[in-house]
C-alpha cells in the first residue's frame, strides 16, 4: 500500500510541476506580447503627442531602459504582488477592474453551462442510443451548426428576434437602469445578491437580462457537450456489460440512462470543465454585443483602445482560470474513477 500512495504522491507532484511550468509559460507569453512585440510600448502609453521629457519619464517608469531579463523580473514581481499595471481607459488598476468585472462573466458562464448540461447531455444520450437514425443525424447537424456560428452574430440575431420583435426578454445590459446599484454587492453575482436581499423584482429583471446572453453562450456548450456525450455513450454501449444487462432482460431505458450514462459520467466531467473554459472565450464577443459588463466586454474595450495592460491582465486571468479548470478536471477524474491511480 505504501508504494501505491507514494506513486500517487509522485504523480501529484509531477502534475503540480507541470502546472507551475505552464503558469510560468503564460507569464512569459504575456510578457512577450506586452513588452517585446510592440515596436514602442512607451508610445502606446503616452500617446504620440507627448513631449520628449514625458516620453523619457514614462520609459524609465516602465523599466524599459533596462535589460529584458530585468524587465521580466519586474513584470513577475508586479504580477505576484497583485499589480497588473494601470488601465489607460479606466485609469484604475487593472486588478481592480478585473475583480469588478469578473463576477458578471462568471454568472453568465455558469448559467450557460447549466443550459449546456441540461440540453446537451440528454441530446447526446438520445443520439447515441438511436445511432445512425434521425435523432442522431439531427443532433449531429445541430451541433455542427453550433460549431459554425459566430457568437457575436447569433447574439445580434437573438436580440433582433426575442428583444426587438417579440419582446420576450430584456435588451442589452445586466439590469434596467432604475434598478442599478440597489442591492448590496455581496458576491458580485447579481442573481445571488438580489435573492439575498429578497429583491424579487430585481431578480426577475436580472434574469430577463441574463436570458438571451446565457442562451447564446449556452447553445455553444450544448453543441460541444451533446457531441462529446454521444461519442462517450457510443463507446459505453458497445461494452460487454451492456450486452449482459440487455441479455438478462433489463429495460433499454435502464441500460442507457442508469448503466451506460453512469460510466460515461466520469469523462463527461472533464468535458464540462473544458467547455466552461470555452465559455470564457465565447463570452469575449458575446458580452460586447449584449453590453454585458463582464471581463469579455472589458477585454474587447481595451483591445479597441490598445490598452495593453488591461488586455494582458485579462488574457492572463482567463489563461489561469482555463488552466485551473483543466487541473480540476484532472483531479475530479482521479477522484471519481477508482481505476485511475
Partner 1 sequence: MRALFSNPVAAVGIVIVGILVLAALFAPWLAPYDPLGQNLDSRLMAAGGGHPLGTDELGRDILSRMLWGARTTLLIIVLVTVTAAPLGFVLGCLAGMLGGWADIALMRLTDIFLAFPRLILALALAAALGAGLENAVLAIAVTAWPVYARVARAETLSIRDSDFVAAARLQGASTWRIVRRQIMPMCVNSLVVRITLDMAGIVLTVAGFGFLGLGVPPSTPEWGAMIAAGREYLFDQWWVATVPGLAVVFVSLGFNLLGDGLRDVLDPRT
- Output 57 or 327, the one with its CB closest to partner 1: 327
253, exposed or middle or buried, with CB in 10 Å at 0-12, 13-18, 19+? exposed
* Cα gap 70→76, rounded to integer Å: 10
Q: How far is the CB of 29 from partner 1 (least distance, A)?
A: 6
d(CA 127, CA 234): 9
Indicate the residue among 14 and 187 with the shorter CB distance to partner 1: 14
Q: What is the DSSP letter of 178?
A: G
Between CA 58 and CA 79 the distance in angstroms is 19
Closest distance between partner 1 and the C-beta of residue 311, in Å?
A: 5
Q: How far is the CB of 281 from partner 1 (least distance, A)?
A: 4
Say whether 172 sits in a helix, a strand or coil. Answer: coil
- Which grid cell is 304? 479597441
Please, which residue, 202 or 271, has the CB nearer to partner 1? 271
Q: How far is the CB of 100 from partner 1 (least distance, A)?
A: 19
Contacts to partner 1 by CB under 8 A: 18, 21-22, 25-26, 28-30, 33-34, 37-38, 140, 144-145, 147-150, 152-153, 156-157, 159-160, 164, 277-278, 280-281, 284-285, 288-289, 299-300, 302-304, 306, 308, 311-312, 314-315, 318-319, 322-323, 326
Helices (H), 238-307: 240-247, 252-254, 261-290, 295-304
CB 133 within 8 A of CB 308: no
**What's the DSSP call for residue 183?**
S
Question: Which CB sits closer to partner 1, 19 or 269?
Answer: 19
- Nearest to partner 1 of 85, 255 (CB atom): 85
Shortest reach from residue 38's CB to partner 1, in Å: 5
Amino acid at each position: 500500500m505504501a508504494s501505491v500512495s507514494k506513486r500517487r504522491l509522485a504523480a501529484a507532484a509531477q502534475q503540480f510541476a507541470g502546472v507551475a511550468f505552464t503558469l510560468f509559460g503564460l507569464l512569459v507569453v504575456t510578457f512577450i506580447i506586452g513588452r517585446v512585440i510592440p515596436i514602442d510600448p512607451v508610445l502606446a502609453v503616452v500617446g504620440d503627442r507627448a513631449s520628449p521629457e514625458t516620453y523619457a519619464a514614462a520609459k524609465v517608469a516602465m523599466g524599459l531602459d533596462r535589460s529584458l531579463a530585468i524587465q521580466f523580473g519586474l513584470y513577475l514581481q508586479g504580477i505576484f504582488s497583485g499589480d497588473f499595471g494601470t488601465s489607460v481607459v479606466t485609469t484604475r488598476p487593472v486588478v481592480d477592474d478585473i475583480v469588478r468585472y469578473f463576477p458578471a462573466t462568471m454568472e453568465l458562464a455558469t448559467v450557460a453551462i447549466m443550459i449546456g448540461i441540461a440540453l446537451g447531455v440528454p441530446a447526446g444520450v438520445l443520439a447515441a442510443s438511436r445511432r445512425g437514425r434521425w435523432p442522431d443525424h439531427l443532433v449531429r447537424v445541430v451541433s455542427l451548426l453550433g460549431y459554425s456560428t459566430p457568437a457575436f452574430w447569433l447574439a445580434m440575431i437573438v436580440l433582433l428576434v426575442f428583444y426587438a420583435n417579440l419582446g420576450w426578454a430584456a435588451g442589452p445590459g445586466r439590469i434596467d437602469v432604475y434598478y442599478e446599484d440597489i442591492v448590496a454587492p455581496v458576491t458580485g453575482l447579481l442573481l445571488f445578491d438580489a435573492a439575498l436581499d429578497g429583491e424579487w423584482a430585481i431578480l426577475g429583471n436580472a434574469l430577463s437580462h441574463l436570458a438571451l446572453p446565457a442562451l447564446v453562450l449556452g447553445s455553444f456548450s450544448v453543441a460541444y457537450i451533446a457531441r462529446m456525450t454521444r461519442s462517450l455513450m457510443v463507446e459505453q454501449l458497445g461494452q460487454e456489460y451492456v450486452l449482459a444487462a440487455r441479455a438478462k432482460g433489463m429495460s433499454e431505458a435502464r441500460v442507457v440512462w442508469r448503466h451506460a450514462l453512469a460510466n460515461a459520467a466520469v469523462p463527461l466531467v472533464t468535458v464540462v470543465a473544458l467547455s466552461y473554459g470555452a465559455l470564457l472565450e465565447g463570452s469575449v464577443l458575446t458580452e460586447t454585443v449584449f453590453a454585458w459588463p463582464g471581463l469579455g466586454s472589458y477585454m474587447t474595450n481595451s483591445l479597441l483602445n490598445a490598452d495593453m495592460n488591461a488586455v494582458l491582465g485579462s488574457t492572463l486571468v482567463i489563461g489561469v482560470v482555463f488552466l485551473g479548470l483543466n487541473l480540476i478536471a484532472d483531479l475530479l477524474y482521479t477522484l471519481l474513477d477508482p481505476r485511475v491511480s
